[in-house]
Amino acid sequence: MAHLLMVESWVGSMSRLLPRAIREGGHEFTFLTRDLHHYLRSAPEGTAHPLLAARHVLTADTNDADSLLPVVEGLHGTLRFDGVITSCDYYLPTAARVAGRLGLPGPSAEAVENACRKDATRRALEAAGVAGPRYAVCADWAHTAGAARDIGYPLVVKPVDLCAGMYVRRVEDERELLDAYRALADFPVNARGQLRSPTVLLEELLDGPEVSVETVSFGGAAEVVGVTDKSVGGAPAFIETGHMFPAALAPEDTEAACRTALLALKGLGLDGVVAHTEIKLTTAGPRVVEVNPRPAGNRITELVRHVTGIDLAAACVDVALGQRPDLRRRDTGLRSAAIGFLIPDTAGTLVSIEGGDAMWEQPDVLEVRFAEPGEQVTAAGSNNEYLGHVMAADAAGAGARARVETLLAGVRPRVVAA
């Protein structure tokens, strides 16, 4: 039995999948957080949050890595950790630094930091010759406006240090650019209380479908587990409305996406990670959108597991312990699995979700989760405002996405405006 240190977590599905993978692997973990109530608030009423299954729940200032390191060293002397893990992007660099300080397995802190900062990712991949969009890293409004004119509209505005599509916007002209710039400036601290960088990233708008490549790297070699497709809505925002695994692509597009993802991992120097690399298949060839040095969110890991039998959460635990993960495929009887999200377009109070009760009666449905009546709803501007999801599978081929879309078409949320 191994003992892992988990430094914070997302509050979504990974806060459940990682504890499950640790437990099923015969291990245990200590959970380290600066604010336990951040997680307790997300647990359904009357249930215990899976993170409370930790051997120990400890509090420390996880936002100050420099002061945290000696604290963790002291804990390690008493509790003896065998690996360090997190699922939350905002703490991936800290977890890597802690593992390095304790002499435990893990990717280099520099590589993780570069992957978690969108501007640093762009620079590292450009230096490595990995194709991406034309871009500019801007420190103030004058620089931003001038760089936008050089790149040309329409373009994409991004924060360099946020996740889940927050404040990522398509802009058509300088007026929209200024609105997006001001919105970012009005959000100086992220949801975890960390001061944000005022740096803005501008990128050319890429054409073509977007996919993600799920990989596991260990011992200097990276293996592709598969390619997931993505549907996006909510313009001018970029909200992920659904995914299917495996992506229904021509073989040459699958090969190109996989090759590009592996080059991106190499260019960043990432090893010992489960990674989720997003790529646009443009008319000019694959272009890297971003590299996430952690398992995919939005239940993509579960799509992979349903189709291949490969548990990427378990692989994440294995590589954190310096153990070779089991990536053998199993015949699950399914050829594709897809998820679709219910996206709110108005703010107010959720009264009901009509049509949701009949979902479980469908034989091909794998998961159904919807918000409860009475919940406060915000019109979606990122991947953080979903009202729920439906997951379904196809045992015969690549029909899972169409099935999910049909199911969601029969669901109608009723929201009373505030």
In the chain, CATH 3.40.50.20 covers 3-104
Question: How many residues comprise the chain?
Answer: 418
Q: Does residue 418 register a pLDDT over 80? A: no
For 190-200, write each residue's pLDDT tens digit: 999 999 999 99
Q: Does residue 46 register a pLDDT over 60? A: no
In the chain, CATH 3.30.1490.20 covers 134-204
Q: Does residue 99 register a pLDDT over 60? A: yes
- Kindly state the helix (H) or strand (E) to which residue 150 belongs, with its residue range: helix 141-151
Q: What fold characterizes domain 210-417?
A: D-amino Acid Aminotransferase; Chain A, domain 1 (3.30.470)
Token pair belonging to 389: 């999801």
What confidence tier does 116 reach under pLDDT thresholds 50, 70, 90? very high
Spatial separation of the C-alpha atoms in residues 298 and 292, rounded to whole Å:
13
Percent over 70 (pLDDT), the chain: 98
Q: Which of 55, 90, 95 lies closest to 72 in space, CA to CA?
A: 95
Q: CB burial class (10 A; 0-12, 13-18, 19+) of residue 95?
A: buried
pLDDT of the residue at 43:
65
pLDDT of the residue at 44:
63
Q: Which of 266, 289, 291 lies closest to 113 in space, CA to CA?
A: 291
Give CA separation, 246 vs 164, 220, 238, 304, in Å: 21, 25, 21, 8
Q: How many helices (H) and strands (E) would you count in the chain?
A: 12, 19
Determine the average pLDDT of the residues in 359-380: 89
Any residues with CB less than 8 A from the CB of 348 and at least 6 apart, and which?
A: 376, 377, 415, 416, 417, 418
For 280-324, write each residue's pLDDT tens digit: 999 999 999 999 999 999 999 999 999 999 999 999 999 999 999
What confidence tier does 39 reach under pLDDT thresholds 50, 70, 90? confident
Determine the average pLDDT of the residues in 34-55: 81
Q: Which residue has the higher pLDDT, 385 or 91?
A: 91
In the chain, CATH 3.30.470.20 covers 210-417
Task: Report the 3 state secondary structure along 78-140.
Answer: HHCCCEEECCCHHHHHHHHHHHHHHCCCCCCHHHHHHHHCHHHHHHHHHHCCCCCCCEEEECC
Q: Residue 197, Cβ neighbours under 10 Å: how many? A: 15
Q: How many CA atoms lie within 13 A of 94 on its CB side?
A: 27
Q: What fold characterizes domain 3-104?
A: Rossmann fold (3.40.50)
134-204, which class in CATH? alpha beta
Q: Does residue 337 register a pLDDT over 60? A: yes
Q: Does residue 83 register a pLDDT over 90? A: yes
pLDDT of the residue at 68:
98
